[in-house]
Chains A and B, each alone.
Chain A
Amino acid sequence: MRCFRVALYLLILLSVLASPVAAGSRPPYTTWALGPGGRLYLTQDAYVPVAEIDLPLSGPEDLFITSEGVLYVADAGNGRVVQLGKDFTITATYGEGILTSPTGIFVDEEGTIYVADAGSKTVVILNRDGSLEAQFGRPTNPLFGRDNPFLPRKIAVDARGNLYVVSEGSTNGLVMLSRKGDFMGYFGANPAVMSLQMMLQRIFLTREQLAQFIRNEAASPSNLAIDSESMVFTVTAGTARQRSIRRFTVAGRNIFPEVHGSTSFRDIHVSDGGLVTAVDAEGQIYEYALKGMLLFVFGGKDQADQRLGTLRNPTGIARHGDRLYVLDKDKNGLVVYQSTRFARLVHEGVRRYVEGFYTQAQPSFEEVLQYNGSFIMAYQAIADAYFKEGDYVRALRYYRYAEDRRGYSEAFWELRNAVLQRYLTSALLLFLSLTVARSAVRRLDRRRGLLEPVRRWWSAAQRSRLVADFLFLFRFIRHPADSFYYIKEKERGSLRFALLLYFWVVVVRVASLYLTGFVFNPYADPSRIRAEVEVIYVLALILLWNSANYLVSTISDGEGRLRDVIIGSAYALFPYALFALPLALLSNLMSLNEIFLYTFSRNLILAWTALMLFVMVREIHNYSFSETFRNVLKTLFTMAVMVLTAYILYVLFYQLFDFVTALFRELQLRS
């Protein structure tokens, strides 16, 4: 009876482990996908946790899964590599007695096991029957470097049989070895990044002081993977999160774009279907398409309540079919995740898209949008499909949703081309007729004075002060220097108009953000523009410039009064006031092919404005050239000091406020 009960209980336990995913099981973590603006948004679960398998291991460091789905785990604590069967029992062990502390494994198609043994600092190659084929340590080749240590932690082997070893602390990248252990070179180094702080340190500190700092070296990769085309992927912890994943061509060039990533990636896996998955120290799993598009981010850290699906100390990740296997060192086990219908839909679409079958991928992605309307990848793929089919209008719309400026520009170019070809002749005809009409009106005017009332109205208008000031603006284009002189002599220009001009500049600034064409606009969506912030910036700049310039000028023999400075600066902004808005409107008709035109015009406007300000300082204060130059520098410095002072005051007052409230609370408590 007891045996029956035990057997029944075991059966139930096994069935629970092996049962199909309980529908509606709600994972303890949330899942995020890339949405508009490059931000992450909530989405349906891509993976649900299926089981947590305990394994009789001690501190496992790496796992590998073959194309048939056979799992190998590097059991570092027990100095062996174990092979797991379908039910996760140990079916074979390798390397006992040979390995000390295996931290990285790779198994090739023949079943040969390559082990990076950090304990013995060697790379060990075992045959499929477990016998030792080769074991080698630090390469003796002088090109390896005399002082470079060899601490193999992870290993991968490409189709040609070259070994790539992650050597801890190696700043030259991966160590490439032949199957015999000959050093073949370094591969895939991370660039060392210079920061402003470092540059300043280099300038100002002595050699001895510099030596005290840690040398600025490139971070060494943490882990690696090789895809079906023998391209090497590395992940590097401790670098900028956007550049942590790299994909190297044979020449060693990184072609993986900047993506949403993590600073603490532990392992990466690339599947044959073109899915890149990485797990980081926080228990988060990131999934990308091969070209670098982020698909999903999910997972979380175990908050000590042991919810299925949370991780404590992940050290390895691998995918087989629809399942992800994550090795957790602290749990001494595997956490298994299964993809949901939603994720499978995305994967199917991505696979076709990556292979270039855009049109076949379209239906999958349209269904994906049914699930989640802000899945950017879907819009990108559908836009590409429409573009390929020649439906440029739809492609344009979808590129806009996908925030793909390049694609949008190309589709726009096609459309513009088509429009031009259709309407060019009629446009020319219209232009011609307008010219004819203009000369006809002119001739009539000469003969009959047709436009006489207009001319009378115009001269009347010119007598108004504001209009005169406005027209004065145009004089700056040809005669900037003496126009400033007129301001100084109070003959032209008024304070009222100057303030109006400043207001207009603010309006232009904000309007140009809204009106610039999508291709050139830094904001993909008008709702993301923070208008108040822009306004405050412009106003602050104007205020700071005027006050700083006046203050500096008064103590360095400048002749200009405050009124002159204000009005002069206002008029000096005329290039921006006159031309920025038309340029923004014009940008709506340009594609990326004309980007030079756009950026050149924009820079021209800014340079012209700067020049005008310079001329203004010279004329208003009556300086020589070198005096003007010094004055402008001093003005800029004064502006910076003003900002700094404001910041310091803010910090001080905040501290005071904090102190007072803490005191108050303390008193309240004690009473």
Chain B
Amino acid sequence: MRKLLRVLLVLWVLGSLPAGAVSAGAPPALRPDGIPDSYRLIAENPTFRLYLNPETLAFKVLDTRSGYIWHSNLDERAPGDRLNRTWTAFAQSGLSIDALDARANVKRASITLSEHTLEIHPVENGVQAQVAFPELGISVGMILQLEETGVRVEVPFETIREEGEYRLHLLHLYPWMGATRGDEIPGYMFIPDGCGALIRFTAQTKATNMYYGRYYGADLGIQGVLPFNPHLRRPYPISVPVIGMVHGEGQNAYILIIEKGASYAEIQAHPAGIITNFNFLYNAFIYNESYFQPTSRAGDGVTAVQPRTNRYDIVIHYRFLTGPEAHYVGMARSYQQYLLEKGILRPQHSENSPIGIRLEFLGAEWEQVLFWHRPIPMTTLEQMETVLSTLNVANPQVVYYGWQPGGASAPLPVQGKLDPALGRRSELVAMAERVKARGGTFSLYYDPLSALRGGAGDVSRYDLALAINSQYIRGYHRNHPVHYLSPSAAEKRLLSLGRDVQKWGVGLAVNVLGSVLYSDFRRSHSLNREETIAAYQRMLTQSPVPIAFYGPNDYLFAYATAYYDIPLTSNGYVYVSEDVPFLPIVLSGYLPYYGEALNFSPDVRGDLLRHAEFGAYPSFFVTYEDTARILNTRSNWIYVSSYRQLKDEIEESYAWLDALLSPVRGATITGHRTIADGVVATTYSNGRQIVVNYRDQPVEVGGLVIPARDAVLREVGP
């Protein structure tokens, strides 16, 4: 009897062991520094130690400053993880691939689950690996190295081979890097959405779908059309190739910077609760896509896979931060440091300290009367002079929109010609001189990429860019439906106009080029997105005039004299916890950034507070004549602009922001935090701090009283 009881007791104890512990095999033995046995040390430097698991290509990084270990993949499952076999393999493998067959069906392969061959050779500071999946006939090479600030991963294109009927669709590179379970570790994921957004780790998210974000917007060469919905605003595209995670604010964090291949990368952010119990964030790289090829006007067609694989190299950098830098401000500053090292950001000398203000003038529009068109001059050069001489602002950044013959809705010319209703060329030159004397700049609005749909202009069909389905790419900007030009045609236009206007002493304010990126599938000169970026950069190094950009992506930062229309919010996804000024912090002190025109703001004061918090300079749209005159033209999206109405508001806004921001002009942002509900403080490198009070009541901060909906500047020391 006793024996029986003892046996039963033993069985009961054995049976009640947690099931999860048995599932993944015996727990790996941990060495004293916390790294499992399966990992080998492959590189080390004073700050980091890099360990690699040669079976799965997973790596771990030990940050010697804090002793924190960063895991690129999952080692073993725990109960409650909600990972099935495919997901477990995905989490454990260093890289996984998705492949497309001829009918565009997707098949996934991960190292730990699929049949594969893996060869590893040591290289300086790391290893070079070649993974082949014979079932799919696809093989991918990867170089993993340790560098001073973290880890560098490279996937050169020549190591990628596609033999067999499958084509490489997506490459998932270290998808589980820094992944955390639910809300076990307090922290957040950072996505460069708009000005910057944080998704805090929670046990269960509000999102019903994971977040997909394609850097630089969707590839219009594949998508074919930029959709137009009059009821919705187009979301801000992602303009910097940086994502990151914080594990404990003030403790540890990392950012992932894509040096090469960003235009084919897609952010995938999965908060916990979407499919699995993990928060994970990574980039998936796109090599081939399927697309819809219409074969008749009615819209029938077939789904096809693109004929040639996208040809580009991938280079990504993980930079690890610890201590006070482990925070979105630290992440932004780390990225800023990276841009400085690359020579992309250069200090801009500002001899005069007043802040700039962007004044965009609408020159002329044309309307149809009876059988012909009649010009509506909204701001002639003479009127602009009146405005600028009576407006009490310093440092005006004047942009002239609608300067071309035919007005704002006419095609932009290739030669420098002014609409005759606005004045003579000599007046323009004199105007530019006067503006420069005031400390400002004079630019002409230009858009070298867009060709008006249905409009004439000197654009031949041969210059238009073709989408993969052999149709012209369609889009819309500033209420004009447009087609896009091939990069070579755009280059010819920009350089030709640049040379002409150089003699006038004016610059250019370029729209669309900085924010829209597409591949051109024209057979004679096809370019993929990476090659297009290179083409744009080559074009801009030859530009004879200074250029300011509207919403430029990072690859144009080096060529911009100013950033117009900077986003001051994110796109407002419901699962995003808060907006952070990542982009402003990156640019602060180096590239001056101007917000969107304040004419269209329902609450100018509130928007100005945001400008003060982010260090952005103000912008206004101005016309001398009443806006009602252009209501029947395509420019009626400018629904309020007359100088008479806006004069006081412009002067007051400028004076208020100037008092706050000119003492910190040229300084970088070193801190940003919410002091109390509705009170935010932004600290600059010269020891000054701007505290903004969004509340409707005054608030007291450190002995200083800030009035309702106001901001103050104070000294806090470096």
Interface presence of A292 (CB below 8 A)? no
Determine whether B367 belongs to the interface, using a CB cutoff of 8 Å to chain A.
Answer: yes
Q: Interface readout for A1-34 with B: 1 if CB under 8 Å, 0 if not?
A: 0000110110011011011111111111110000
Q: Tell me how far the C-beta of A577 lies from the nearest C-beta in chain B, rounded to whole angstroms.
A: 20
User: Smallest CB–CB gap between B597 and chain A, Å?
Assistant: 11
Taking the closest CB of chain A, its distance from the CB of B291, in whole angstroms, is 13
Whether the Cβ atoms of A52 and B206 lie closer than 8 Å is yes
Q: Mark B586-626, 1 if CB is under 8 A from A, else 0.
A: 00000000010000111101110111000000000000001
Specify the main secondary structure of chain B where it touches its partner. loop
Q: Are A665 and B235 in contact (CB under 8 A)?
A: no
Q: Interface with B: A177-185, A368-376, A431-439, A557-565, which one?
A: A368-376
Q: Are B231 and A669 in contact (CB under 8 A)?
A: no
Inter-chain contacts of B640 with A (CB < 8 A): 370-373
Q: Does B573 contact A (CB under 8 A)?
A: yes
Asked if A662 and B295 make an inter-chain contact with CB atoms under 8 angstroms apart, the answer reads: yes
Q: A26-B572, A373-B628, A527-B369 are in contact. Are A300 and B645 (CB under 8 A)?
A: no
Please measure, in the bound complex, the distance between the C-alpha atom of A303 and the C-alpha atom of B230, giving whole angstroms. Answer: 13
Q: Does A491 contact B (CB under 8 A)?
A: no
> Which of A25, A343, A669 is close to B470, meaning CB atoms less than 8 Å apart?
A669
CB of A144, distance to nearest CB on chain B (Å): 42
- Identify the closest chain A residue to B575 (Cβ): A306
Given B371, B606, B611, which contacts A531 in the complex, CB threshold below 8 Å? B371
Which one of A38-46, A55-63, A127-135 is at the B interface?
A38-46
Binds A, one of B346-354, B509-517, B629-637: B629-637
Tell me the complex Cα distance, A156–B225, Å: 47
Complex partner residue of B602 from A299, A343, A374, CB under 8 angstroms: A343
CB pair A36 B631 closer than 8 Å? yes
Q: Is B542 an interface position by the 8 A CB rule?
A: no
Residue B296 at the A interface, CB < 8 A?
Answer: yes
B574 touches A306 (CB 8 A): yes
Asked if residues B579 and A28 are in contact (CB atoms below 8 Å), the reply is no
Contact B639 A342 (CB under 8 A): no
Please encode chain A, from 270 to 301, with 1 for each CB lying within 8 Å of some chain B CB and 0 for all others: 00000000000010100000000000000111
A416 on the B face (CB < 8 A):
no
Nearest CB in chain A: distance from B232 CB, A: 4
The interface residues of chain A lying within 8 Å CB-to-CB of B208 are 306
> Which residue on A lies nearest to B603, using beta carbons?
A341
Minimum C-beta distance from A101 to chain B (A): 25
| A305 interface neighbour in B235, B370, B568, B579, Cβ under 8 Å | B235
CB-defined contacts of B686 to chain A, threshold 8 Å: none
Let me know if A120 is at the binding interface, CB within 8 A.
no
Query: Is there an interface contact between A308 and B573, defined as CB atoms closer than 8 Å?
Result: yes
Q: Chain A residue with minimal CB distance to B185?
A: A5
B579 lies within 8 A of A308 (CB) = no
A374 touches B627 (CB 8 A): yes
Contact, CB under 8 Å: B639 / A284: no
Q: Which of chain B's residues have a CB closer than 8 A to the CB of A49? A: 572
For B579, list chain A residues within 8 Å (CB): 22, 25
Q: Is the CB of A341 within 8 A of B602?
A: yes
| Bound CA–CA A300/B231 (angstroms) | 6
Could you say which residues of chain B place their CB within 8 Å of the CB of A5?
Answer: 186
> Which chain B residue lies CB-closest to A46?
B602
Residues in A whose Cβ lies below 8 Å from that of B626: 373
Asked if A661 is an interface residue, CB under 8 A from chain B, the answer is yes
Question: Could you tell me the distance between the alpha carbons of A378 and B633 in the complex, rounded to whole angstroms?
Answer: 22
Type the 1/0 row for A407-429, where 1 means its CB is closer than 8 Å to any CB of B.
00000000000000000000000
Decide if B233 touches A30 in the complex (CB within 8 Å).
yes
A349: which B residues are within 8 A, CB to CB? none
Q: Which residues of A contact B183 (CB under 8 A)?
A: 6, 9
Size range of the chain A interface in the assembly: 35 or more
Asked if A528 contacts B645 (CB within 8 A), the reply is: no
Asked if B574 contacts A41 (CB within 8 A), the reply is: no
Could you give, for residues 648-663 of chain A, a 1 whenever the CB lies within 8 Å of some chain B CB and a 0 otherwise? Answer: 0000000000100110
Does A195 reach chain B (CB closer than 8 Å)? Answer: no
Chain B proximity mask over A522-547: 1 for CB below 8 Å, otherwise 0: 00010110011000000000000000
Give the number of residue pairs across the A-B interface with Cβ within 8 Å: 166
A309 at the interface (CB under 8 A from B): yes
Is there a chain B Cβ closer than 8 Å to A666's Cβ? yes
Q: Is the CB of B601 within 8 A of A44?
A: yes
- Listed residue (B569, B575, B626, B640) with the most chain A CB atoms within 10 angstroms of its CB: B640
* Contact B371–A27 (Cβ < 8 Å): no
> B residues within 8 A CB of A48?
602
Point out the residues of chain A lying under 8 angstroms from B642, CB to CB: 373
The answer on a CB contact under 8 Å between A45 and B232 is: no
Q: A18 to B677, alpha carbons, bound, how many Å? A: 9
Known: A27-B572, A308-B574. A373 touches B602 (CB 8 A): no
A464 an interface residue at 8 Å Cβ cutoff? Answer: no
Q: A24 and B678: CB pair below 8 A?
A: no
Collect the chain A residues with CB atoms within 8 Å of residue B573's CB. 305-308
Query: Are B233's CB and A28's CB within 8 A?
Result: yes
Instruction: Tell me the chain B residues, 331-388 only, with Cβ under 8 Å from chain A.
Output: 367, 369-371
Please judge, given known A-B contacts A22-B569, A307-B235, A340-B602, whether A665 and B639 are in contact too, CB under 8 Å. Answer: no
How far does the Cβ of A605 sit from chain B's closest Cβ, in whole Å? 24
- The reply to whether A374 and B639 contact each other, CB–CB distance below 8 Å, is yes
B598 to chain A, nearest CB (A): 10
Residues from chain B with Cβ under 8 Å of A26 in the complex? 233, 567-569, 572
> In the assembled complex, which residues on chain B have CB atoms less than 8 Å from the CB atom of A452?
none
By a CB distance below 8 angstroms, the chain B residues around A27 are: 233, 572
Q: Does A454 contact B (CB under 8 A)?
A: no
Enumerate B315-344 residues with CB–CB distance to A below 8 Å. none
Any A CB within 8 A of the CB of B474: no
Q: How far is B578's CA from A5's CA once the two chains are assembled, in angstroms?
A: 18
Q: Binary interface profile of B, 548-569, with partner A (CB < 8 Å = 1, else 0)?
A: 0000000000000000000111
Indicate if A304 sits at the interface (CB-CB under 8 A): yes
Contact of A303 among B232, B572, B603 (CB under 8 A): B232
User: Which chain B positions have C-beta within 8 A of A624?
Assistant: none
Decide if A340 touches B603 in the complex (CB within 8 Å): yes
Q: Are B295 and A54 neighbours in the complex by a CB distance under 8 Å? A: no
A261 interface hit (Cβ, 8 Å): no
Which residue of chain B has the shortest Cβ distance to A670 in the bound complex? B295
Assess whether B39 is interfacial by the CB under 8 Å rule: no
Interface status of B209 (Cβ within 8 A of chain A): yes
B235 surroundings in chain A (CB, below 8 A) = 28, 305, 307
B574 partner residues in chain A, CB cutoff 8 A = 52, 306-308
The 3 closest A-B pairs by CB, nearest first: A23-B606, A340-B602, A24-B610
Known: A24-B607, A373-B639. 5 other contacts (CB 8 A): A19-B677, A24-B609, A36-B631, A340-B603, A668-B470
Instruction: Return 26 A-B CB contacts under 8 Å, by A number.
Output: A6-B183, A19-B677, A20-B694, A23-B603, A23-B607, A24-B607, A30-B233, A42-B639, A44-B600, A49-B572, A282-B231, A300-B229, A303-B229, A305-B209, A306-B573, A307-B574, A310-B232, A370-B645, A373-B628, A374-B628, A374-B631, A525-B632, A527-B369, A665-B470, A668-B470, A669-B293
